[in-house]
């Protein structure tokens, strides 16, 4: 058992100063005061000292097996290390492939998802990559979602991007229909994660598909919605009509100079326009490449995304964009849990998974718990990944 005392709980809505009792991997009790001396067994005590306690962050778009490769084999990015996630307060990741669905297989993605679970955090993944028809494990989108436990949907399928397979509306709708039925039959989200590029069509293919009326807008989670002004304007209308929008927080100055809007500013603009913030998620695109291309489609620069950008988003949102901590937390806690049907995630409440982050006043993770296990203590990672541990022990 573990007792957190004197925490200012943001669930993500503010609950005030509370004590939390954790047993195994669940939150057992939330009270104004819990007397450790009256508990039936000894427990570890963490004094939060009046600091903010938030749900563990959900990063819904992470290239856990690495991404990139648009500049040749040497530009393939490395796999996600456990500490990269936990040091950023991330306790749940959703793995995706991307441009490269050849040297990065769905089988490897599923295996890495299981590995992250074994190392101590919660993890799920999508089946497929940029291409249509999707590459899958079983040869069928529905079978992957229904029969492979970590697979919760399809994606990251690409549209409006020179790297996509240029799917027709019918092809994209067919994948969405398969994912939807598989989700219904398995109790999973069954959504389709859709990569949006810089091409002028933007969200238009999804708008056309949903206009037919048999697929709801919430069947899709379009991502990178903040990559240019035109796409952001479309995303505002999409969210206003009830669809999900996902903003990417990993960025570089060149992208912002070229017209990308930061994730924090994008969420703030939703609020300013009176759009329900419950429609927005923020993800890191962690371990994905951040390539720059010239007018001819040739890559001219490369950086890498990281889960740590979620912290930069959180600080910008609260310190520069006028969002409350509750409002800033929603797109990385409650909202993705709702979009992906992660029923035990995204909230601080009795019987929820004990995924928790204690934040310092400058919004740095001081303690991170993943399913009740302390992964970060006093700002330092105390549970490294398997090969991080081996590397640390090497002479």
pLDDT in tens, the chain (395 residues): 999 999 999 999 999 999 999 999 999 999 999 999 999 889 999 999 999 999 999 999 999 999 888 788 988 999 999 999 999 999 999 999 999 999 999 999 999 999 999 999 999 999 999 999 999 999 999 999 999 999 999 999 999 999 899 999 999 999 999 999 999 999 999 999 999 999 999 999 999 999 998 999 999 999 999 999 999 999 999 999 999 999 999 988 878 888 899 999 999 999 999 999 999 999 999 999 887 777 777 777 778 999 999 999 999 999 999 999 999 999 999 999 999 999 999 999 999 999 999 999 999 999 999 999 999 999 999 999 999 976 666 56
Among all residues, which ones are annotated catalytic? 285
pLDDT of residue 395: 61
Q: Enumerate residues 6+ apart whose C-beta is below 8 A from 158.
A: 99, 130, 131, 164, 165, 194, 195, 197
Which tokens is 72 given? 């040749």
List the beta strands (DSSP E) in the chain: 2-10, 14-23, 26-31, 44-47, 52-55, 57-62, 90-95, 122-127, 151-159, 191-196, 220-223, 245-248, 280-283, 289-293, 299-304, 356-359, 365-370, 373-377, 380-381
Backbone angles phi, psi at 207, to 5 degrees: -65, -40
pLDDT of residue 16: 97
Cα–Cα distance measured from residue 13 to residue 333, given in angstroms and rounded to the nearest whole number: 11
Q: Which residue has 């990308």 as its token pair?
A: 260
CB atoms within 10 A of CB 33: 9
Cα–Cα distance measured from residue 350 to residue 264, given in angstroms and rounded to the nearest whole number: 30
pLDDT of residue 299: 72
The architecture that CATH gives domain 56-339 is Alpha-Beta Barrel (3.20)
Q: Which residue has 């749940």 as its token pair?
A: 92
User: Is the CATH number of domain 2-54+347-381 2.30.40.10?
Assistant: yes
Find out whether 53 and 37 touch, Cβ atoms under 8 Å.
no
Let me know how many helices (H) and strands (E) the chain has, helices first. 12, 19
pLDDT of residue 392: 65
Give the domain ranges of the chain. 2-54+347-381, 56-339
């Amino acid at each position: 058992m573990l007792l957190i005392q004197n925490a200012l709980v943001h669930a993500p809505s503010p609950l005030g100063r509370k004590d939390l009792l954790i047993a195994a991997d669940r939150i057992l009790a939330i009270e104004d005061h819990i007397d450790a001396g009256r508990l039936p067994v000894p427990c570890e005590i963490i004094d939060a000292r009046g600091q903010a306690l938030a749900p563990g962050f959900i990063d819904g778009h992470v290239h856990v097996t690495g991404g990139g490769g648009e500049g040749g084999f040497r530009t393939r990015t490395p796999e996600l290390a456990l500490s990269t996630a936990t040091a950023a307060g991330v306790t749940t990741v959703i793995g995706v492939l991307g441009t490269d669905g050849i040297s990065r297989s769905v089988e490897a993605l599923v295996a890495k998802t299981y590995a992250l679970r074994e190392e101590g955090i919660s993890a799920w993944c999508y089946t497929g990559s940029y291409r249509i028809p999707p590459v899958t494990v079983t040869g069928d989108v529905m079978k992957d979602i229904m029969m492979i436990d970590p697979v919760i949907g399809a994606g990251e399928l690409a549209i409006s991007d020179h790297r996509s397979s240029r799917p027709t509306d019918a092809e994209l709708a067919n994948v969405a229909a398969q994912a939807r039925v598989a989700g219904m039959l398995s109790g999973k989200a069954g959504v389709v994660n859709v990569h949006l590029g810089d091409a002028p069509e933007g969200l238009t293919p999804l708008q056309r598909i949903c206009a037919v009326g048999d697929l709801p807008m919430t069947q899709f989670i379009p991502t990178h919605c903040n990559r240019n002004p035109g796409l952001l304007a479309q995303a505002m209308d999409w969210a206003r009509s009830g669809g999900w929008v996902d903003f990417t927080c990993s960025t570089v100055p060149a992208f912002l100079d070229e017209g990308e809007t930061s994730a924090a500013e994008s969420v703030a603009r939703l609020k300013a326009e009176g759009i329900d913030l419950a429609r927005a998620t923020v993800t890191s695109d962690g371990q994905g490449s951040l390539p720059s291309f010239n007018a001819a489609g040739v890559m001219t620069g490369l950086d890498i995304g990281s889960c740590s950008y979620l912290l930069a988003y959180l600080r910008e949102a609260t310190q520069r964009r006028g969002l409350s901590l509750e409002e800033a937390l929603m797109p990385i806690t409650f909202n993705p849990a709702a979009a992906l049907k992660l029923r035990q995630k995204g909230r601080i409440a009795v019987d929820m998974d004990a995924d928790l982050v204690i934040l310092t006043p400058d919004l740095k993770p001081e303690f991170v718990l993943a399913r009740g296990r302390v992964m970060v203590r006093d700002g330092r990672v105390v549970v490294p990944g398997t090969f991080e541990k081996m590397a640390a022990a090497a002479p």
